[in-house]
Structure 1
Amino acid sequence: MADIEVFGWQTDYASGYYRVQLPLQSLAMCGRVTVCGVYMPDLVCDNPNTIIVGQRICDPHATRVWQSLAADGHRLVFEIDDDLWNTDPSSALVHKYFADEEIRTNLRRNVEVAAAVTVTTEPLADRVRQWNPNVHVIPNAVPDWLLNRRPQQRDDGTITLGWGGSPTHKMDWEEHGEPIRRFLDVHSQAEIHCIGNNYARMMGLPQERIRFTPWVANVETYLHTIDYHIGIAPLRDHIFNQSKSALKVIECGALGIPVVASDVGPYRDYVQDGITGYLVRGDREWARYLSALANDSDLRAAMGEAARVRAAQQTISCLTPLWEKAVFG
C-alpha cells in the first residue's frame, strides 16, 4: 500500500467538503495519494512525510495533536474559510465558541506553526497574515459535474425562491427578511425553500408558502436538493461577511439559476449585475428584481445560462493547480 501523501483533517462536513474533500479528490485525480477524515489514523501521525491539511483546528485536543505534529516535522497546511475572530453575537452558539479566549489562542498558535495557510478570500488572507505570511488565496470551487445538472424545478406556475446555508446568517435575515417578505406578500404564486436552516420562518409567512429541508447527509445530496427558480443571497454589510465567499451564488450559477444578492463583499465582486443576476443596493430593489425574474421565464433562462458560463470558471478542475501549489509548496 502506498504511503498517504496528504491527509485532510476535517472538522465539519459542509465546508469540509469544499475545502478538504473536493480539493483532495482533485489532487487524487492528478495521481496523488490522498485520504480525508474527521479522525486522524495512527499511520498518518507516525509518518512525518505525510502532509496534513487541517480545517479550522482549534479544539483543545486537536490543538495538542496539531502542535505535536508540527514538532515532529510534518508539513502542515492550515485551512480556514471564515473570519472566526469576528463572528456576530446573533449566531449565539457560534459566537460563544469562537469568543472563548482559549479557542482564539489555539487558532492563532495553529496558524503560526503551519507551513502554509489556505483561505477563500483576500480579506481573510489579510486577517491571518499577521500570524503567518505564507497565505494562499484559493477561491471556493464547485464540482465539475454540477455544470451538467438541471435542477428539478416546479412547473405548476409556482415560483420558488431559494436559499441554503449554515446557522451563521441570522443577522442577514434580520436585515433583509422584511423586503423579501414584501415580495412574497404581493406574489401569491411564489414560495420560499430554505435548506439547512429555516430562516424563512422569521418572516411570518403562512406555512404553505415555506418549504424547509433540514441539513442533509452530505453536500452532494444538498446540491441535488436545490430546486429554485431564483436564488436569493441576503448579506448584511458586516466585518464577518466581508471575508465570506460567493459560494451560494456559484452553486446556483452552476445549476443555471439566476440570483438576487446583496451588493456586499463577495457578491459585489462575483455577480455580473443585470447579466448573471441582480445586486441589491436598497430594500425596494429586492421586490423589483425578484418581480422581474418571477414574471419573465425568458429572462430567468438567459441570466441562468450566463451564470452557468460564469461558474464554469470556478470548478475544482480549474483551481486544482492552486491547491497543488499550496499543499506541496
Structure 2
Amino acid sequence: MKVLFVVPYPVGKAASQRYRVEQWLPVLQEQRINYKVAPFWDAGTWDILYRQGHTLKKITGLAKGMFRRLLLLTKLPAYDYIFTHREATPVGPPWFEWLAAKAFRKKIIFDFDDAIWLPNTTDDNSAAAKYKWHHKTKLLISWSYKVSCGNDYLKDYALKYNAAAVYLPTVLDTVTKYNKLKDQQTERVTIGWIGSHSTLPYLKLIEPVLQELEQKYTFEFIVIADRKPDLNLKFLRFIPWNNESEIEDLLQLHIGVMPLPDTEWAKGKCAFKALQYMALGIPVVASAVGANTTAIPDSITGYTCSTEQEWYEKLEQLLQNAVVRAKLGKAGRKWMQQQYSVQAHTNNFLELFT
C-alpha cells in the first residue's frame, strides 16, 4: 500500500498537521505502509506568511506551491490513497482534489479539525480571505472515500454530504512523548496557555478574571505561542513556542486554560490545548463550548465554565489547593490514556485505509 499525504504546512510547523498526520507516520512504518508527505508551503514562505509585509515573497511562495501541486498530479497513479489534511491549496477552487478524485479516480481520505467551511477572517489572513473558497469543504467531503473528523460537531456537518464520515479525535502519544506527570507540590503556582497567533485573541475573554485574581493572589501567567500576547497582567511571561521544548515548557504550568467564544467557529475546535494539559497531569479550566464539554469531564479532570464568575471561582480554587490540582491532574492523565491517546485510536486510524 502507498499513501500520499497532501498537507498545507511544512513538516513540524503546525499543530494540527503534526498531531493529525505526522505523529501517525511511525504507525504506518510499523505496518510497512509506504507514504510520502507533500506540503504546499515551503519552510521559507511559512516563516514570513503571517508577518507584515513580504508581499512579493508570499506571492512567489504561493506560485511555487501551486506549481508543486501540478507536478504532484503526475505522481498520483503510484498511490492507493490520497490523504488530504484540510485542503490541497490555500486559495481558489479545489482543482487538485477534483482531478485526484474524478480524473485519476483515487480514494481520497479527507481530514479536518476546524469548521473550515465558515469564514474566519483575521488581520493576518484578511488579504487572502477573499480568494479562499470556504464552500469547497462540502465538495471535498462529497468527493471523498472516507472523511476523518476531529469532533462530533464536524462529523455532523460531514454526514450531510458523505455517509462515510467518521470521528477521529486529535490524540497524543502518552507513552513516548506526553509521558510525564506535573508535580503540583511546588511553592509558586503558574497558570498558562499554549496556542498560536490565531487563537491568542481568545485570552482577552479571561483577562478581567486574571486581573481580578492578581489583586488577591501571587501567580505567574505563562503564554506559549508564536507571537507575544497583548495582555495587561502584572506577572505575564511569554515563551516562544518551540517544538523541541514544548513538553518542558508545558510542565511549567500548574493550571492550563482554554477560553473560547460561543461561536459556530469555536464549536469546530477539537479541545487540543485541554488535551495537552491533561496528558501531562495539568488540570484544565476551559470554556463550556463545543468539544470542550465532552473532552473535559467537568469536576473530574478540570472545569468547564460559562460565566466570568465560574472562571474566577474555579481558578481561585485551583490556585489555593495543590491537593485538588494533583487529584484532577492524575484523573486527566488517566482519561487521556483511555480516550485520547495514539494507542487508543491506532486501529481507528488504520481503518481509514481499508
TM class by shorter chain equals 0.7 to 0.9
Q: Is the 8 A contact 1:86 1:240 kept in 2?
A: yes
Aligned residue for 1:79? 111
Structure 1: distance between partners of 2:126 and 2:347: 34
- 1:205 corresponds in structure 2 to 233
The counterpart of 1:294, out of the listed 319, 323, 330, is: 319
Write the deviation string for residues 234-271 of structure 1: whole angstroms up to 9, x where unpaired.
Answer: 11111111121122111111101111111222121122
CA contact (8 A) 1:87 1:95 kept: no
The answer to whether 1:64 aligns with 2:92 is no
Q: CA 1:106/1:278 → structure 2, altered by over 3 Å: closer, same or farther? A: closer
255, 258, 269: which is aligned to 2:280? 255
Equivalence for 2:148: 118
Q: Distance in 2 between matches of 1:261 and 1:253?
A: 12
Aligned residue in 2 for 1:325: 351
The Cα offsets for residues 83-114 of structure 1, whole Å up to 9 and x where unpaired, read as: 0233444x3334664x5365224434333322
- TM-score, scaled to structure 1: 0.85
Q: 1:53 to 1:311 in 2, by over 3 A?
A: same
Picking from 212, 218, 222, the partner of 2:246 is 222
Q: Contact conserved, 2:226 with 2:240, CA < 8 A, in 1? A: yes
Q: Which is richer in helix?
A: 1
Whether contact under 8 Å (2:150, 2:169) holds in the other structure is yes
Superposition CA RMSD, Å = 2.8
The code of the aligned residue for 2:212 comes to: R
Moved more, 159-168 or 249-258: 159-168
Structure-2 separation of matches of 1:36 and 1:221: 24
Q: Deviations over 1:146-190 (max 9, x none)?
A: 4422458894x32111111123325533333211322133212x0
Q: TM-score, normalised by structure 2?
A: 0.79
Unaligned runs of 5+ in 2: 41-68
1:319 to 1:64, Cα distance in 2 relative to 1, 3 A: same
- Following TM superposition, by how much is the alpha carbon of 1:215 offset from its aligned partner in structure 2, in angstroms? 3.1
- For these two proteins, the number of residue pairs brought into alignment is 316
Letter of the 1:67 partner, please give it.
W
What residue number does 2:48 align with? none
**Structure 1 59/279 Cα, relative in aligned 2: closer, same or farther at 3 Å?**
closer
Deviations 1:25-82 (A, max 9, x none): 3232233223334157859824343312111114358943333222112221111110
- What is the match of residue 17 of structure 2? 16
- SS of the residue 1:231 aligns to: strand
1:103 aligned to 2:167?
no
2:221 paired with 1:192:
yes
SS of corresponding position for 1:136: strand
* Counterpart Cα distance in 1 of 2:286 and 2:79: 44
Sequence identity (%): 24
The superposition leaves residues 102-146 of structure 1 with CA deviations (integer Å, 9 ceiling, x where unpaired) of 522443433332222111011112223333332111011001324
1:143 aligns with 2:173: yes
Inter-partner Cα distance in structure 1 for 2:225 and 2:214? 21
Q: Which moved more, 1:13-22 or 1:170-179?
A: 170-179
- Partner Cα distance (1:242, 1:291) in 2: 26
